[in-house]
Structure 1
C-alpha cells in the first residue's frame, strides 16, 4: 500500500479507537501515540505531507481565533503583568534546568540552554543551527521529547481539574455574515503572506488567530463556527505529524541523556503547576485550570486543543502562550545565542 494511505488509515483508526474507549483528546493523542510506537518498533514506511499539518494548524487557528471577542482582547491588556510574571518565571527556571541538564548529560552550554527553553521546536532548532557549539540533534530531541511529554501528561492532569460547564461555554447564537467573513479572509491571507515573507514562526496558526481576533473585536461579529468533525480532523492532522516527528528516537538517545531530558521536563511541568497555583491564589476570580494550561511548556496549538476539551478559557490561555512565544523568540533566545557565541569565542570553540 501507499505509505500515505497506510499512515492515514492508522491515524484515523487509532483516533476512532481512542474516542470509542473514552480517552481524553482521542483524535490528537490516538494518532500521535500509535504512529510513534509503530514508527519506532516496526519497519512500516509512513508518510504524512506537510500540507495536512498546515491545514490542521490553520483550522485550529480559526477555532482558537473564534474565541476572541472585543471583551477578551481588552482583558489581555489587564493580564499583561501576570503574563510577564509567568513568562519570566518559566524562562528563568528553564535556564536553571539547562544548567542542570548540562551537568547530567555532559553537553555543551549552548545545547543545554537552547534545548531547555520552551520556545517551539522548529524555532529553537533554527537558532541552534547558528551557534557553533550547539548540538542540533540533541536540541531537536530535547524540544521534541518535551512537547511529547507535555502533551502526554498535561491533558490527563486536566481531567482532575475543574473547568467550565457546558452552559458557560455556549456562545451567542451564530449568524453568518458575508462582509466580515470576506474581510477576514482577505486580511488573513495578507497576514499569512507577510509572516511567511519575514520568516515569522508558527504563521499557519498565528495568522488566523490574529485575523479573527482583530475582525471580531472590531465588528462584533462571530465569523465562523467549525463543526466538531472538522475540529477532530484538524487534531488528526496535527497528531499524526507529532507522532512521526520523533523518527529513530531509540537510535539517537542513550540512557543518560534520556534520563536527563525526563528529569528536566518533569521539573518544568511541576514548576508550571506551582506558578499556576500561586497565580490562582493571587487571582481567585480565575480558574486554576486556565493558569495551568497557560504555564504548561507545551506548544500553543496543543494546549489550545486541551483547553477546548477541558473547559478552559481558550482566549486567555492563547494570550499567555503568545506573550511567552514572543518574549522567548524576540528577546530571550537571541540574547542567549549572543552570550553563548561570545563565550565560545573566548574559549576558542
Structure 2
C-alpha cells in the first residue's frame, strides 16, 4: 500500500477520533476522550466500509503512559494497605469467578452452545487470553467465545464509566497533589526495571504487558525508595485515552455478522447480572471497610479491562492503587488458577464425549 494512502487514512482516523472526543466532552459525559473515539469507530465499522489506519504503536504508547501514571499513584502507605486488603481481594476474585461460571451454565441453557464455549466466553479473563485458551479446546467455538468476550467488554466499558460518573467521589482536597515531580535517579532505576519486566512478560506472552510493566516498576521503586518519581499532566492522560479509545473502537469488527438476537440477548443479560453482582460485592465491602468509597470497590469488582477501569478510577476520584491492585490480583488468579482449572475440566468432558 502506498505511503500517501496510509497517511491519508491516518489523518482521517485522527480527525474523527479528536472530533468525537471533543464533541462528547461538550456534553459533560464521563471519559469523553476514551468513549468518544471508541463509539465513533464502533459505529463506523458496523455501518460503513470506510478504511482507517491507526498504528499499533499508538496503543502501546497509550498503555505505557497510563501505566506510568497508575504506577506513580502507588506509595509506601498504599502498598501496606494493599497487603492488608489481600483477603478481601481473594474473596472478591473467587466470588466473581464463581458467579461468572454460573452465568456460563445459564448462557449454555439459553443458547444451546457447548458448555466449554459458554464457560470460556463467560470467564472475565480478557478477550485475547480466553480466545487463545478456547483454541486448545476441541468442543469450544472460538468465534462465539470471541463474540461473547467482545460484546461483554463493549457493554461494560460503556456502562461502568457512565455509572461511575454518578457515584460519590473524593473531593479534590482528599486526592494526592497533582504537581509535576521528578526524581532522576529513582526514575532511571524504574526505567531499567520496567524494561526488564516488559522483556520477561513478552517472553512468556503475558497479557497487557505494556500496561503492567510500568505499573509494577513504578510501584516497586516508589515503595522501596519512598520517593515520588513522576506525575503526568492531565493532558497526557487525555492523549492516552484517545490512543486507547481509538484502538478499541477500530478493533470491533462487524458484530452483526456473528451475533444473532438470541446470542446478543444472552450476553446482555449475563453482563447486566455480572455488573449487578459486582455492585453487590462493592456494597458489602464498603460496609466492612468504611474508610473506602463504594466507587473504589465498584471499579475494583467491575469485570472490565484493567486499562479502562483504571482510567475511570483516575478520572472519577477513586482510590487508584486499590482499583489497580484488585484488578492485578484477579488477572493473576484467573490466568494462573481459574482458567487452567476450567480448561482441564472442559477437556475432561471432551474426552468423555469423544471429542
* Structure-1-length-normalised TM-score: 0.98
How well do the aligned residues superpose, as a CA RMSD in angstroms?
Answer: 1.2
Q: Give the C-alpha shift of residue 316 in structure 1.
A: 0.3
Q: Deviations over 1:290-326 (max 9, x none)?
A: 0100000000110001111111000001101111111
Alpha-carbon contact 2:179-2:231 (below 8 Å) kept? no
2:288 equivalent to 1:282: yes
Query: Which deviations, in whole Å up to 9, do the C-alpha atoms of 1:175-196 show, x marking residues without a partner?
Result: 4221111111111111111110
Q: Offset at 1:242?
A: 1.0
- The answer as to whether partners of 2:222 and 2:229 remain within 8 angstroms in 1 is yes
Q: Is the alpha carbon distance of 1:219 and 1:173 closer, same or farther for their aligned partners in structure 2, counting shifts above 3 Å?
A: farther
Aligned length: 349
Residues 174-323 of structure 1: pairs in structure 2 closer than 5 A: 174-323=180-329
Q: Counterparts of 2:45 and 2:10 in 1: how far apart (Å)?
A: 13
> Quick check: 1:39–1:46 contact (8 Å CA) kept in 2?
no
* 1:347 counterpart = 2:353: yes
Please state how far the C-alpha of 1:135 moved relative to its aligned partner: 0.9
Structure 2 gaps, min length 5: none
Give the structure 2 partner of residue 123 of structure 1.
129
Contact 2:33/2:241 (<8 A) preserved: yes
Provide the residue aligned with 2:104 in structure 1: 98
| Distance in structure 2 (CA, Å) of the matches to 1:8 and 1:257 | 33
Task: Report the 3-state secondary structure (helix = DSSP H, G, I; strand = E; otherwise coil) of the residue aligned with 1:141.
Answer: helix
Distance 1:136 1:90 in 2: 23
TM-score when scaled to structure 2? 0.96
Structure 2 residue 57 is the aligned partner of structure 1 residue 68? no
Q: Structure 1: where are the runs of 5+ without partners?
A: none
Runs of 4+ in 1 over 4 A off after TM superposition: none
Shift in CA distance, 277/144, structure 1 to aligned 2, threshold 3 Å: same
CA contact (8 A) 1:25 1:309 kept: yes
Distance 1:108 1:246 in 2: 24
Tell me what 2:343 maps to: 337
Structure 1 residue 174: deviation in Å? Answer: 4.6
Secondary structure of 1:329's counterpart equals: helix
